[in-house]
Amino acid sequence: MSKRHFRFSRGPLERLRAHARELPGESAVPTPPLAEDEAGLGLQSASVTHIGLVRANNQDTVLEKDRVFGVCDGMGGHRGGEVASAVAAESFLAALEGREPSAEAMREAVDAANTAVWEKAQGDEELSGMGTTLTALWLSGGRAFIAHVGDSRCYRMRDGSLRRITEDHSMVMEMLRAGVITAEQAETHPMRNIITRAVGTEETVETDLIEEDSRPGDIWLVCSDGLYSMVPDEAISSTLAALGRQPDQAVQALLDAALAAGGRDNISISLIRDRGDSR
């Protein structure tokens, strides 16, 4: 089932405008784990993006540069999603060049990505309506700055407990918050592929900005819905508990689990362990 973006007004669901989403492709593209980041912060990371077992192409893009990690999950037309996620990722990272880590820098970087995708779509009829999710994490000095648009996710594993940091911008989440459906119904609801916020589908975008602390031993996970729609949070948690100290092994295990469950979407995973002063 392809993903769609609907534009909503506040309150009742009005002015619905759909954007068809043919999801991601390409074989697995791993990123080797980092022994330690340039700032000596003690970050260890690994990431992967995979076409999955159903999609014709990979419209996901993984962000990883210095201490910034994230996922863009594109949507729209034959090649629109692939273009949208790549343009958003490049523009987002470029906008952070030379900046000090902050929520404001993250917001401005998302705005830059939104403008780049929007303008690219206006100049090419084949790309009309394209867009992408964008969930990114910037770790620095014991702080985590998170920017989030769409239904990709950021999690943090601390002391054996997995917590989802972001909230999906999706039709199902709107219904869940309104008490229309239960959490159990949300997991299999036929409208779970509809997102209510995306980068590049409008001239401006509203971004969730979150600031958290990051402690030695914390494990951060940023992923597209190709992972969590296939692998329950309980299984993600147990995998990180067992393999979180080896991000490359944990990423491979999560990817294998998503594929074993059907791999119905593109799968993108970025995993980071905050080692602090420990080795």
* Backbone angle region of 147, left / alpha / beta, with phi > 0 → left and psi within -120 to 50 → alpha: beta
Is 220 inside any structural domain?
Answer: yes
pLDDT for the residue 35: 38
Distance CA 185, CA 172 (A): 9
User: CB count, 10 Å around CB of 63?
Assistant: 24
Strand 194-195 relative to strand 4-5, pairing: parallel
- Identify the domain containing residue 139 by its residue range: 4-274
Residues 239 and 257 sit within 8 Å (Cβ to Cβ): yes
Distance CA 156, CA 177 (A): 22
Q: Strand (E) positions, 141-193?
A: 143-149, 153-158, 161-164
- pTM for this prediction: 0.85
pLDDT for the residue 175: 79
pLDDT for the residue 28: 55
Query: For 202-242, what is each residue's pLDDT tens digit?
Result: 999 999 999 999 999 999 999 999 999 999 999 999 999 99
CATH (domain of 71): 3.60.40.10
What total of structural domains would you count in the chain? 1
Distance CA 47, CA 26 (A): 15
Is 221 inside any structural domain?
Answer: yes
Is 279 inside any structural domain?
Answer: no
Tokens for 118? Answer: 């929007």
The low-confidence residues of the chain, meaning pLDDT below 70, are 1-41, 185-192, 277-279
| Rg value, the chain, Cα | 17
Sequence-ordered list of residues with C-beta below 8 angstroms from that of 82, at least 6 positions apart, any chain: 24, 25, 57, 58, 59, 74
Q: Distance between the two ends of the chain, CA-based, in angstroms?
A: 43
Residue of 79, 71, 68 lying closest to 29 (CA atoms): 71
3-state secondary structure of 143: strand
pLDDT for the residue 66: 92
pLDDT for the residue 174: 76
3-state secondary structure of 39: coil
